[in-house]
Structure 1
Amino acid sequence: MPLHVPPAPAPALRSVLTALASPTAVDEAHTPSLRTAGGPLSAEFPLPLHVLDRIPQDGVLSTRLAGWRFLIRGAEHVLAAADTRPTPDGWAFSHFFEGPYVTATERALRQAEALAGPHQVRLLSVPELYMLTLWLHGDCAADGAAGSPAPTDLLVPLAPAPPGIAAHRPRQVAELRPLLSLRLAAPLLRTTA
């Protein structure tokens, strides 16, 4: 399927490119792959990062834009990611990182390309579950920085996914929402010392 990547705000991209060009920003990052990368680095696949605040009783997921995430590609493959955050003056570079969600995002994007129908790609974070999903929004013309998941949108949970939710299995929001509600409503296990 053709993946539609919404355009990132120019200041967000500039802030990432400036950080990539800064030896200090790269050296201070906890990303060994960036420090040891040979050759040029590029910022690709700007993905709006939305956060799921809550699942209300009416079933409509309430989200907010938390930033833009860029995959950082070296000569051969994706090495890391860079996040930007909104500020009162626009967009600012936040940090570089690497780890399982970077490789899982790249895998989910390849997986999404094989699915039927066009979608706009976004990320949806569920902080209370330590969960990140690739969000395949059905309206390719929509503003990537706004909106909430529609019941027919697809979510692809990235690995590692919470217990009971299969990673890299695309599901419609309407199908995954009850699982999210159940997991969010489950009492936390507490241990006493």
Structure 2
Amino acid sequence: MPLLVPPAPKPALRSALAALGSPTAVRDPRTPALRSVSGPLSPDLPLPVHVLDRVTTAGGAPSTRLVGWRFLIRSGDRAVAAAETILTPDGWTFSHFFEGPYIPSTELALRQAESLEVPYQPRLLSVPELYMLTLWLHGDATADPATGGPAPSDLLVPLAPAPPGIAAHRPHRVADLLPVLTLRAAPTPLMGMGSPA
């Protein structure tokens, strides 16, 4: 069943298109792939980017917030970079282009998700405490992509590179992966140190 990719806000798409048309933005030193591509570039597969505020919540639902929209930048049939847009007090604006291992990893995870039998809304979920990015497959495929948190039955697919001990590209239910992430993010007690009571 196909993924139900939500439409990005029109101002976010316009800002990504404007940046692609700007020689200054495309020639940024962080994106050699964009400088070396000949032919047209186009933004594709808009994904809302959410951040998990705290992994170590004391029970209850995980807290997330929308921080931007990410567009894969295509040259022909392959993604060569991504464009990130952010919400400012003046509205949606282009933030930056980037490239690296998360680009092909996102494409692979999306292809894998297309083969699932249940419709999902794809989102990206960043877990800053663990330097981790996941493809978040939200079970309510028609939900507002800017709101809501991961439901226990939603799927998280860690993108490569994933933290040690967490397999990339293996889907996990939120209810199963969140406790693992909580343990990983918990501070390690110092050996031989007593309680600070």
TM-score range for the pair, normalised by the shorter chain length: over 0.9
Counterpart in the other structure of 1:101 = 102
Classify 1:59/1:166 alpha carbon distance in 2 versus 1 (closer, same or farther; 3 Å). farther
Partners of 1:59 and 1:153 lie apart in 2 by 15
Q: CA RMSD in A?
A: 1.3
Q: How far does the alpha carbon of each residue in 1:127-174 deviate from its partner, in whole angstroms, 9 at most, with x for none?
A: 110000000001011000111000000000000001121100001000
Residue by residue over 1:65-123, the C-alpha shift from the partner in whole angstroms, topping out at 9 and shown as x without a partner, is 01000000002310000100110011010000000011100110001011121000000
Q: How does 1:1-193 map to 2 (within 5 A)?
A: 1-55=1-55, 56-187=57-188
Q: Aligned residues, how many?
A: 189
Identity %, equivalent residues: 69
Aligned structure 1 segments of 4 or more residues deviating by more than 3 angstroms: none
C-alpha distance in structure 1 between counterparts of 2:120 and 2:141, whole Å: 6
What is the rounded CA distance, in whole Å, between the counterparts of 1:6 and 1:34 in structure 2? Answer: 25
Q: Could you tell me the TM-score, scaled by structure 2's length? A: 0.93
TM-score by length of 1: 0.95
> Residue type matched to 2:181 in 1?
L
Unaligned runs of at least 5 residues, structure 1:
none
Name the CA distance, whole Å, in 2 between partners of 1:157 and 1:138: 17
Aligned residues of 1:29 and 1:95 also touching (Cα < 8 A): no
- Aligned-pair distance for 1:186? 3.9
Spell out, residue by residue over 1:11-52, the C-alpha distance to the aligned partner (whole angstroms, 9 max, x if none).
100000000011111012411110011111000010000000
Query: Which secondary structure does the structure 2 equivalent of 1:47 belong to?
Result: strand
Q: CA deviation at 1:187?
A: 2.6
Equivalent-residue separation in structure 2 for 1:184 and 1:62 (angstroms): 15
Counterpart for residue 194 of structure 2: none
Unaligned stretches of 5+ residues in structure 2: 191-197
Greater radius of gyration (CA) = 2
Kept in 2, the 8 Å contact 1:29–1:97? The answer is no
| Equivalent pair of 1:64/1:146 in contact (CA under 8 Å) | yes
